[in-house]
């Protein structure tokens, strides 16, 4: 089975993230005078639980879009298989996996909305 994440890619991502955080903290490269907000969610959220909800909603949106893209790609692969059984099987598996991912993302979003409604009530 193929690895989902490469160790070097993850190391590079986190290294760049840490460098930006250190640069912002050490040099004060943010603020209203510079036109760069220190809080990227400034004006959109009021507290930590609300910020977490916003981040989860964005992530679920990205997951949904990626799942739809994979559904389209696997459909195209299926049509282009030209009767080759191996290619058809591979495309069907990709389609089922993508549809399952989309259904899972929709269920997670629904559960999140229910939890938020219950906690806010």
Note if the pTM is more than 0.85. no
Residue ranges of the domains in the chain? Answer: 1-38, 40-120
Residue 7 pLDDT > 80, yes or no?
A: no
Residue 1 pLDDT > 50, yes or no?
A: no
Tens digit of each residue's pLDDT (9 = 90 or more) over 23-55: 555 455 566 665 656 665 556 666 677 777 777
How close are the terminal C-alpha atoms of the chain, in Å? Answer: 45
113 vs 120: CA distance, rounded Å: 10
Residue range 65-92: mean pLDDT, rounded: 89
Helix (H, G, I), strand (E, B) or coil at 31: strand
36: left (phi over 0), alpha (psi -120 to 50) or beta: beta
């Amino acid at each position: 089975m193929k690895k989902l994440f490469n160790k070097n890619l993850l190391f590079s991502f986190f290294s760049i993230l840490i460098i930006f955080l250190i640069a912002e903290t050490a040099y004060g490269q943010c603020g209203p005078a510079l036109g760069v907000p220190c809080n990227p969610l400034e004006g959109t959220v009021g507290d930590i639980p609300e910020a977490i909800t916003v981040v989860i909603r964005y992530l679920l949106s990205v997951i949904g879009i990626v799942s739809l893209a994979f559904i389209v790609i696997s459909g195209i692969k299926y049509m282009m298989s030209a009767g080759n059984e191996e290619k058809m099987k591979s495309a069907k598996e990709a389609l089922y996996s993508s549809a399952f991912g989309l259904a899972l993302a929709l269920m997670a979003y629904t559960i999140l909305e229910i939890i938020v409604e219950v906690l806010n009530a």
